[in-house]
Structure 1
Amino acid sequence: MAASVIVLGAGMVGVSVALHLRRRGRDVTLVDRQGPGEGASFGNGGLIQREAVYPHPFPRALAELRRIAGNRATDVHYHPLALPGFASPLLQYWWHSEPTRYLHAVRAFSALIATCLDEHRALADGTEAMALLRPIGWMKLYATEEAFATALTQVQQAQRDFGVNFTALDGAELAAAEPHLQVRRAGAIHYPDPCSVSDPHALTLSYARQFLAAGGKLALGDAMTLTRAGAGWRVQGQDGPIEAAQVVVALGAAAVELTRGLGYAPPYFGKRGYHMHYRMRGNATLNRPILDMQSGFLLAPMRAGIRLTTGAEFARPDAPPTPVQLERAEPVARTLLPLADRVDASPWMGVRPCTPDMLPIIGPLPGQAGAWCAFGHAHQGLTLGPTTGRLLAEMMCGEAPFLDPAPYRAERF
């Protein structure tokens, strides 16, 4: 059993960890209650976000807090009765978003982000996955000259500090780049480096097929049955118990539900998100993903159609879906683009796993020999899956990590 590992969770992060471990000769079983990539990795904007060096901070401007408190926005929605359960992690999130502390998060987060394109390409090169990684970047659209000027100042700083590439487009250039955009905007910032993924689920499946082709094993099972088995670990699979010397918890939003029983309960919260696909009318097209900053939602061209993704919803974990933001966003989206019918029978919903300091948890699970963490990636699980997989595999296999893992250690909570 010495070289055996169970990886719990078959999203982009878990699949990437499993693949990197298998490439290093470990006997790996990837366990999930459903197929690879069917959780939060299924629904997102489909962006490998090289430009996302700034994690999402808690709003601190009074006007912004008032807007969110009104609970009528398209980018943030909350269930009032759920808020007491979020009070502690959100208070810590607010604390970590103080400018000086936020800079610490930016430095640590940007170190991960800087690697994302290289690490995805290292897994995708020579496979069908490369065709899914479209090198078209994406754009943020600004309604006013003032908002556009402020954004330019910020992105110029990101270019100086973190090598973020961008092109500024005025209103006429934006209209030429996206001729079917139905509104006039003051300008846009095009980030050319990020890859737009035409089918995020297919990308996770492609990496999972590589894992299986390399001799890895995939099993249906319940991660919450994890127990000690001598010096190792055991989890109940659909076809019987699975045992290994080591275990990796890559369960996204459900991770702390498991680790709490193992004595580790960091402050953790989930942001629910929704998406829906639409056809376009006639021969209209959208050439690249766009985020209309005034409206607060992303529209991205996908295999299935134009995907509209919502912002964050705060709700109890067992609350039924309430796609309020989608209902608010759709009429606005129809003013932006000539959208036709919905493609999906019902909205998709998933949960983004978040930590209050805006950094993922990567490394040993405190107090549990042979257990490892790979969760808490918030909005960037798709982006950072391969980076996390490589970093954790190097740590587990005794190699020199290609990045300093200290900022992401579990013990910080």
Structure 2
Amino acid sequence: MKTDTIVLGAGIVGTSVALQLAERGRSVVLVDRRGPGEETSYGNAGLVERASLYPVAFPRKLSALLDVALKRNPAANYHWDALVRLVPWMFAYWRASAPARILDYARHMETLLAFSLAEHDRLARAAGAKHFFREGGWLKLYRTQAGLQNERNEFPLAHSYGLSAREIEVDEALAMEPSLRPVFRSAVIWSDPHSVSSPGGVTQAYAAHFAELGGQVRRGDAGILARLGSGWAVTTDEGSVEAPEVVVALGPWAMDVLRPFGLRLPLQVKRGYHMHYNATGGATLSRPVLDEEGGYVITPMVGGIRLTTGVEFARRDAPKSPVQLEKTEVLARGLFPLGARAEPEPWMGCRPAFPDMLPVLGPAPRQNGMWLAIGHQHLGFTLGPVSGRLLAEMMTGEVPCTDPRPFSAERFG
């Protein structure tokens, strides 16, 4: 089979790329070993995080570093056998987390975040997925004054971009979410972000709309991508597919495909876990809630109340080690009346990340006809549709919605 473009990876990013290209009249085959939205895009906290100008940065204070090193911070965990290989990447991550470079990150990231809500809204309406979405922002809770002060430091930058962050008292937070218990001493409501009740469901709806536009979704192993003359070929369950262009949107598995073609990009993964719970006593939750110092988020999902953990640095394919879930579940039960676990074992996924915390969006170096949409770290669900739009505009010769140069793979040399 011949097509205009092969898109490898049916997470929110790859599905959005495929859909944006199909809207522009391209024939596209979307290839994944699983169904759309069944890997990394299934397991996140479901936020369209419009206000995420500050990244999940590497700790700079010695006290914070010690908390991570001694595994006292429930938001972070690591495997010793992974650290040696990760040291160069983590040093680059530490350097990129310097205050001046954080401001550069915010300036570049805002050019994508500015389109995040509108692009999701447009695709959701076209795909019949609006019922998954809710407004109301998200609530951040603080157990200490120091934690609140760290959040206050973000307010000036947020307000300079017209974003709404408001410090509220415990009573107002409880009025918003009556089922919470007052184990915190302060809170902040960020009003701009939206959230969804099923990130996997949204991705599947976008993929279904892509198919309605004539796109094809096929099962296949992206690892056997091959050069075919001036184009590309991949084998699927329904036979070989050939195209002059290929988009690699494989998230944590991108380098498995890119290394054989000589590409050496500093992409690593941050692992994370989630579990669903039943709520007891008629308890309800209407928006995502972050327990900042507890290191977890609880959010209402189709499958129950989802608890998502922070970051685990480990080999991508190492066995699960959900120690963070065990720690944070205790804290979450003190905050909200969680009932029994609704699943037999924790879900684990990997967030693909570059050390500067920005994604790569654009052509692959030295590989004619290959395009990249990878490395969205904690913002894959937020940025999927706008990343798809930006890449589709570059591929079809349109004027890009924003300057793509900060997201070029060439920044790594």
The alpha-carbon distance between structure 1 residues 71 and 182, as it changes in their structure 2 partners (threshold 3 A), is same
Shift of 1:153: 4.2
Paired position in structure 2 for 1:98: 98
Paired position in structure 2 for 1:38: 38
Distance 2:233 2:83 in 1: 36
Distance 1:102 1:292 in 2: 23
Residue pairs, 1:129-144, within 5 angstroms: 129-144=129-144
Q: TM-score, normalised by structure 1?
A: 0.97
> Is 1:241 matched with 2:240?
yes
SS at match of 1:41: helix
Deviations 1:158-199 (A, max 9, x none): 112x22112321112112222211224222111122111001
Paired position in structure 2 for 1:354: 353
Q: Is the 8 A contact 1:54 1:110 kept in 2?
A: no
Q: Is the 8 A contact 2:22 2:28 kept in 1?
A: yes
Shift of 1:318: 2.3
Paired position in structure 1 for 2:196: 197
Residue pairs, 1:209-228, within 5 angstroms: 209-228=208-227
Q: What is the one-letter code of the residue matched to 2:359?
A: P
Distance 1:158 1:205 in 2: 32
Cα RMSD over matched residues? 1.4
SS at match of 2:348: strand
SS at match of 1:313: strand
Distance 1:296 1:48 in 2: 19
Q: Is the 8 A contact 1:278 1:340 kept in 2?
A: yes
SS at match of 1:306: strand
Distance 2:226 2:82 in 1: 31
Distance 1:102 1:142 in 2: 23
Distance 1:57 1:151 in 2: 13
Residue pairs, 1:248-327, within 5 angstroms: 248-327=247-326
Deviations 1:23-71 (A, max 9, x none): 1111100000000011110000100001111122211110000000012
Q: Is the 8 A contact 2:54 2:154 kept in 1?
A: no
Q: Is the 8 A contact 1:148 1:186 kept in 2?
A: no
Q: Is the 8 A contact 2:3 2:242 kept in 1?
A: no
Q: What is the one-letter code of the residue matched to 2:278?
A: R
Aligned-residue sequence identity (percent) comes to 48
SS at match of 1:388: helix
Paired position in structure 1 for 2:364: 365
Paired position in structure 2 for 1:119: 119
Paired position in structure 2 for 1:56: 56
Paired position in structure 1 for 2:342: 343
Runs of 4+ in 1 over 6 A off after TM superposition: none
Distance 1:269 1:5 in 2: 26
Deviations 1:84-143 (A, max 9, x none): 111111111112222222322221112111210011011112543111111121110112
Distance 1:212 1:3 in 2: 14
Distance 1:172 1:282 in 2: 21
Q: What is the one-letter code of the residue matched to 1:313?
A: E
- Between the two proteins, the alignment pairs up a number of residues equal to 412
SS at match of 2:141: strand
Distance 2:150 2:35 in 1: 43
Which moves more between the two structures, 56-65 or 381-390? Answer: 56-65
Paired position in structure 1 for 2:154: 154
Q: TM-score, normalised by structure 2?
A: 0.97
Paired position in structure 2 for 1:17: 17
